[in-house]
Amino acid sequence: MSHYTVAFAGNPNTGKSTLFNLLTGMRQHTGNWAGKTVITAEGEFTHNNHMYRAVDLPGTYSLYSNSADEEAARDYIIFEQPDVTLVVLDATSLERNLNLALQVLEITGRAVVCINLIDEARRLGIDINLKAISKRLGVPVVTISARNKIGIEALLDQVERVATGAFITDPMRIIYNDEIERGIAELTPMVEQMIGSKYPARWIALRLLDGDDSLLASLKENIKSKEIPEAKEVIGYGVTC
Ligand SMILES: Nc1nc2c(ncn2[C@@H]2O[C@H](COP(=O)(O)OP(=O)(O)OP(=O)(O)O)[C@@H](O)[C@H]2O)c(=O)[nH]1
Ligand SMILES: [Mg+2]
């Protein structure tokens, strides 16, 4: 039996813990207000003879180090490198929710996008073009209702395909303006040299250009490389975004 780790990421209140509880049989606190999951919870489930460790991350609007929750979710995805990051989106506010999905895809292609609350979207007459979204994002996209237990098997099939490598993803990557891209192109090889190729160098370079010294502090803590410089040595090196 293979073992995989699946991390649940998403905006607050998108039903991550509802799905987590359904799959693991656990009782993570759920409810209709944001910020309930403050501590990362872990549980287990099986699907098609594979065993999964599920990790319920705190809900975040971004991975830009604006809060302890964002730092925790960001660090888990970067340093723990789950086999699959399951991005849970609210079908009734896709535009806002997709922002986080794009950020996750900049860090890892080992992702599945799960559009939850499809029952609510249907009630509101929202029509979602699943094929188009999936093609654009380059990873499997599935609609579910965690509360009504709809679409769960199909979701787990896609998680399995990404976990086992049966689905080779082609994650959408944002191309920034020339100045930022030049900064990224200069910094990325330096980042790779500092921390090796195991980590998402392009994304880290982008964040360093943006002055994200919390990320630099996490790199220092998680990667015991003497080559990681002080924040002030890197930040201010490139363009101001
Ligand atoms: N209509 C509908 N409501 C849902 C569905 N899934 C979850 N909910 C509701 O959405 C609310 C938020 O669910 P949670 O599971 O707590 O959301 P969360 O993403 O863990 O929230 P945070 O921990 O704050 O990030 C709860 O009231 C759930 O009952 C669904 O498929 N349909
Ligand atoms: Mg939660």
Per domain, the residue ranges of the chain are 3-164, 178-234
Q: Is the CB of 33 under 6 A from ligand 1?
A: no
Is 38's C-beta closer than 6 angstroms to any atom of ligand 1?
no
Using CA atoms, how far apart are residues 88 and 123, in angstroms rounded to an integer? 19
Residue tagged 């409810």 (tokens): 31
Nearest CA, atom 22, ligand 1: 12
CATH code of the domain made up of 3-164: 3.40.50.300
Percent of the chain with pLDDT strictly greater than 70: 88
Q: What's the whole-number mean pLDDT along residues 207-233?
A: 78
Q: Which ligand is closest to the CA of 70, given by its number?
A: 1
Nearest CA to ligand 1 atom 32: 117
pLDDT value at 69 more than 90: no
Placement of tokens 């979204």 in the chain: 133
Query: Distance, CA 224 to ligand 1 centroid (Å)?
Result: 38
Q: 174 vs 15, 104, 105, 111, 185, CA distance in Å?
A: 27, 11, 9, 16, 14
Rounded Cα gap, residues 69 and 143, in angstroms? 26
Q: Which range (79-83, 100-104, 184-188, 218-222) has the least confidence?
A: 218-222
CA dihedral 63, 67, 72, 77 (to 10 degrees): 0
9-33: average pLDDT = 85
Q: What number is the ipTM of this complex?
A: 0.99
Provide the token pair at 51. 């065993």
* CA 59 – CA 224 distance, rounded (Å): 28
What average pLDDT score do residues 133-138 get? 97
- The 10s digit of each residue's pLDDT in 144-192 is 999 999 999 999 999 999 999 999 999 999 999 999 999 999 999 999 9
Mutate to test the pocket of ligand 1, among 22, 114, 147 (most ligand atoms within 8 A of CB): 147
